[in-house]
Amino acid sequence: MSTAYQVIARKWRPQTFDDVVGQDHVVRTLKNAITRQRIAHAYLFVGPRGTGKTSTARIFAKALNCTDGPKADFDVNDPACISIAEGSHLDVIEIDGASNNGVDQVRDLRETVRYAPAQGKFKVYIIDEVHMLSAAAFNALLKTLEEPPAHVKFVFATTDPQKVLPTIVSRCQRFDLKPIPPDLIVERLKRIAVDEKIKVSDAALACIARLADGGMRDAQSIFDQMISFCGAEIGEPDVLDVYGLVAADRIAALAAALAAGDHKKLIAIVDECDAAGRDLVRLLIDLQALVQAALLDAIAQGGRSDKLGGLPMTTEQITRLLDGLREGEGSVKLGLAEKINFEVTLLKAVEASRARAIDSLIKELAALTDEAAAGSPDNEKKKG
C-alpha cells in the first residue's frame, strides 16, 4: 500500500531550532532561555504568514517536553518529539483562535489548566491566530495568564498584534518574526530541489522567492505547484507564465524608461507586458521594490544613484518617483481599467520625479541672489 503524498510545505516543516530559517534572533533567545532555565510562562509570536510562528511554537514545545528535557538540542526521533510533531501528545494542546474564540472555550481551557501533565513536564497551550479571540474570551484568559500553574506554558501566534489586548501582550514575552529574505528562501528551495530530484534554474528560484513576499510556506507551496506544472525541470519562463510575472530585465528596462522620462518606450513595454497576460499589479509592486533599492543606494552614495538605467538621479527625484508609483497603487488594484490606470500612474510618476520641490528652488534662488549681491559693483566699492 503506497503512502499518502505529503505537500512540500508539510514535509519540509522545521523540526528543530536549527531548521528555522531567517529568525536567528528568536531561535537564539529561546535556546538561551531553555539552557539557563529562564522559561517564561507566556510567549507571543508575531509575524506575517508563513514565517514560522506555529512551527517555532511546536519546536519550543518539543524542547520543553522531550525526554530528559527541557533541552534545546533534543533528538527529533525521541518518541515524545515525534508525538508532538504528529499532534498526538497529550500535553501539547493546539487551539485555533479563529474557530475557538468564545468565552466558553476559554473557560474550558481554564478548567483543564489545573490538571498536572500526563506525559511530559509541562502542559503547553499553542493558540494560533490569537487575535481572533473575542473580548470576553481575552478577559476570561487574563487571570490564568497572570498567575498560571508552574506546569503550564502558553504560546500565542498572531499575524495581527494590534487586535490583541494590551493586557494580554504585557503578560507575554513578545517575539517579532521577520519576513524571510529572498536569498535564504532560495537557499532552502535549492536544498529541497536536490532532495526531490528537481532541476530548477536560479532565475526560477529568484522568481518564486519574489512571489513569496518573505513567506517560506508560500515559497514552498509555489514550488510544489511548479513541480506539478513542469515535472522534474523548472525554468524561469515557466514561473513567469504560470503566475503572470514580468522578467527582471523587463522590470529594469521599465525603470530605466521611467528615470529617462521616455514616454514612448514606457508605453511600449506596458503594451508588451499586457499582451503577454502579465499581472500589472504585481509589476507595479516589483517596480516599486527596484526604485526603493535605488533610493537606498542614493542615500548611501551621498545623494545620487545610477541604479535606474545608468542615469544619475538625486535622492529627491527618486523619492518623488517612488511616491508617484505608490499613490497610483490603489487605482491600479481596484480600478476597472487596469492598464489605463497603470499607464497613467507611470506617467504621473515621471512628471513628479521631474518636478522640483518649492523649498529647494527657494534655497537655490537665495544662493544665486547672495552670489550676485556679493559680486555687484556697489559691493566692490564698499570693499575698496
* 140 close to 45: Cβ distance less than 8 angstroms: no
Distance between CA atoms of residues 66 and 180, nearest Å: 28
Question: Who contacts 186 (Cβ-Cβ below 8 Å, separation ≥6)?
Answer: 202, 205, 206, 208, 209
**Comparison of pLDDT for 105 and 284, the residue scoring more:** 284
Cell for 88? 498526538
Residue 127: helix, strand or coil by DSSP? strand
Domains, the chain, with CATH or none:
8-176 (3.40.50.300), 182-243 (1.10.8.60), 248-358 (1.20.272.10)
Burial 162-183 (b: 16+ CB within 10 A, else e): eebbeebeebbeebebebbebe
Q: Is the pLDDT of residue 195 over 70?
A: yes
Average pLDDT over residues 53-72: 90
pLDDT at 23: 92
User: Please, which residues have CB within 8 angstroms of residue 137's CB and are 6 or more apart in sequence?
Assistant: 101, 102, 103, 105, 106
- The tally of CA atoms less than 13 A away on the side-chain side of residue 310 is 1
- pLDDT tens for each residue of 285-344: 999 999 999 999 999 988 888 888 878 888 988 999 999 999 888 888 887 788 999 999
Mean pLDDT, rounded, of the chain? 87
Question: What whole-number distance in Å separates Cα of residue 62 and Cα of residue 223?
Answer: 28
Query: What pLDDT score was predicted for residue 6?
Result: 82
Q: Is the pLDDT of residue 381 over 60?
A: no
Residue where the block lists cell 523649498: 359
Residues comprising the chain, all counted: 384
- For the entire predicted model, the pTM comes to 0.81
**1: pLDDT confidence band, cut at 50, 70 and 90?**
very low
What's the pLDDT band for 113 if we cut at 50, 70, 90?
confident
Average pLDDT over residues 221-249: 90
What pLDDT was estimated at residue 358?
Answer: 63
Mean pLDDT (whole number) for 67-86: 89
Residue 3's pLDDT band (boundaries 50, 70, 90)?
low
**Which residues in 334-358 are b (16+ Cβ under 10 Å) and which e?**
eeeebeebbbebbbebbebbeeeee
Largest CA distance in the chain: 106
The residue that leads in pLDDT, 340 or 369, is 340
Strand partners, 200: 234
Cα separation of 132 and 153, whole Å? 20
Percent of the chain with pLDDT over 70: 93
Q: Of 30-34, 64-68, 167-171, 351-355, which range is least confident?
A: 351-355
Rounded Cα distance between 217 and 227, Å, is 15
The span from the CA of 96 to the CA of 98, in Å, is 5
pLDDT band at 232 (very low <50, low <70, confident <90, very high): confident
Tell me the pLDDT band of 177, cut-offs 50, 70 and 90. very high
Predicted confidence at residue 330, as pLDDT, reads 87
Which grid cell is 250? 523587463
